[in-house]
Structure 1
Amino acid sequence: MLNKRMIISLSVLIFPWLTVPFIGVKSFVRFLPVATFANLVISIFTIIANRKKWFKNNNPLFSNAPIDLTYILGAHFIGTLWIFKLTYGSFRKFLITNIVLDWINIFLFGGFLKKVGIFKLKRMSPSMYWCITVILAVVLYGYQYIIEKVIRQTNSKPPLHVVQSEQRF
Structure 2
Amino acid sequence: MFKYFIIWSSFVVPWLSLFFLEKHAVKRFMPVAIFAALLVTVQNELAHTYKWWVVKETFLPQIITYFPFVFGAFLVGTIWIFYFTFGNFKLYLLINLAIDALFAFPLNEWFESLGLYKLVNYTNWEIYLTFTLMAVLIYLYQLWQQEVLKGGPE
Count of residue correspondences: 153
Is the aligned partner of 1:4 residue 2:2? yes
Contact 1:5/1:118 (8 A) holds in 2 = yes
Query: Where does residue 68 of structure 1 map in the other structure?
Result: 66
Q: Which amino acid aligns with 2:111?
A: L
Displaced runs of 4 or more, over 3 A? none
Distance 1:23 1:149 in 2: 23
Query: Where does residue 46 of structure 1 map in the other structure?
Result: 44
Q: Give the unaligned 5+ runs of structure 2.
A: none
Distance 1:61 1:48 in 2: 20
Contact 1:110/1:120 (8 A) holds in 2 = no
Query: Where does residue 54 of structure 2 map in the other structure?
Result: 56
Q: Alpha-carbon deviation of 1:153?
A: 2.6
Query: Where does residue 135 of structure 2 map in the other structure?
Result: 137
Query: Where does residue 126 of structure 1 map in the other structure?
Result: 124
Query: Where does residue 81 of structure 1 map in the other structure?
Result: 79
Q: Which amino acid aligns with 1:147?
A: Q
* Coordinate RMSD, CA, aligned: 1.3
Contact 1:59/1:68 (8 A) holds in 2 = no
TM-score by length of 2: 0.95
Query: Per the alignment, in what secondary structure is the counterpart of residue 130 of structure 2?
Result: helix
Contact 1:5/1:60 (8 A) holds in 2 = no
Is the aligned partner of 1:37 residue 2:40? no
Query: Per the alignment, in what secondary structure is the counterpart of residue 151 of structure 2?
Result: helix
- Whose radius of gyration is greater, 1 or 2? 1
Query: Where does residue 109 of structure 2 map in the other structure?
Result: 111
Distance 1:56 1:108 in 2: 18
Contact 1:28/1:81 (8 A) holds in 2 = yes
TM-score by length of 1: 0.87
Contact 2:11/2:71 (8 A) holds in 1 = yes
Query: Where does residue 21 of structure 1 map in the other structure?
Result: 19
Q: Give the unaligned 5+ runs of structure 1.
A: 157-169
